[in-house]
Homo-oligomer: A and B are copies of this chain.
Amino acid sequence: MQDITPWKHKVQYYETDQMKIVHHSNYIRWFEEARISILEQIGAGYDLFEEAGIVSPVLTVESEYRQMVRFGETVEIRAMVESFNGIRLVIRYEVVRENDGVLCCVGKTSHCFLNMDGRPVSLKRSYPRFYEAIRTLPVVPEE
């Protein structure tokens, strides 16, 4: 398994809402930031996917908000593979506040892979390079 640097995000003013907390929709964007970062780190960046003619739309999103995050704080978003069979990829996220280590949010996204014609492809069969790369990502530890 490869060594992955977790993605850090400094909370911006424009991400707050009038409840004086980060608006919940932004965490979904942070998940994307972290996902892109870990894929880049294993040499499977979105740009390489798109060059290869593959897009990877989001099929589902889940997010559970445990602690409010506020302007001025920095969070670390840890992304781990929950399951991957070459056709469907499920990633789990943990948003941890940097100054106190509190787990503020957990999330999950699932993805498939489509070719230029919009047809689902198996990375395992058609793009083994990406398949092997993704298999080096950290996985969710078994409980």
- Chain A residues proximal to chain B, CB less than 8 Å: 12-14, 16-21, 23-26, 28-29, 32-33, 36, 45-47, 55, 57-65, 68, 71-72
**Are A62 and B61 neighbours in the complex by a CB distance under 8 Å?**
yes
Which residue on chain B has the smallest CB distance to residue A110?
A: B64
Q: What are 5 A-B pairs with beta-carbon distances under 8 A?
A: A24-B28, A25-B25, A57-B65, A61-B61, A61-B63
5 A-B pairs besides A12-B29, A25-B25, A28-B28 with CB distance below 8 A are: A14-B29, A24-B28, A25-B26, A25-B32, A47-B71
- Residues on B with C-beta less than 8 A from A62 are 60-63
**Are A32 and B14 neighbours in the complex by a CB distance under 8 Å?**
yes
A19, B19: Cα distance in complex, Å? 9
Shortest Cβ gap from A21 to chain B (Å): 8
The number of times this chain is found in the oligomer is: 4
A24, B28: Cα distance in complex, Å? 8
- Residues on B with C-beta less than 8 A from A33 are 12
Q: Knowing A14-B25, A32-B12, A36-B13 are in contact, say whether A19-B71 is a contact too (CB < 8 A).
A: no
- Residues on B with C-beta less than 8 A from A63 are 60-62
- Residues on B with C-beta less than 8 A from A29 are 12, 14, 25
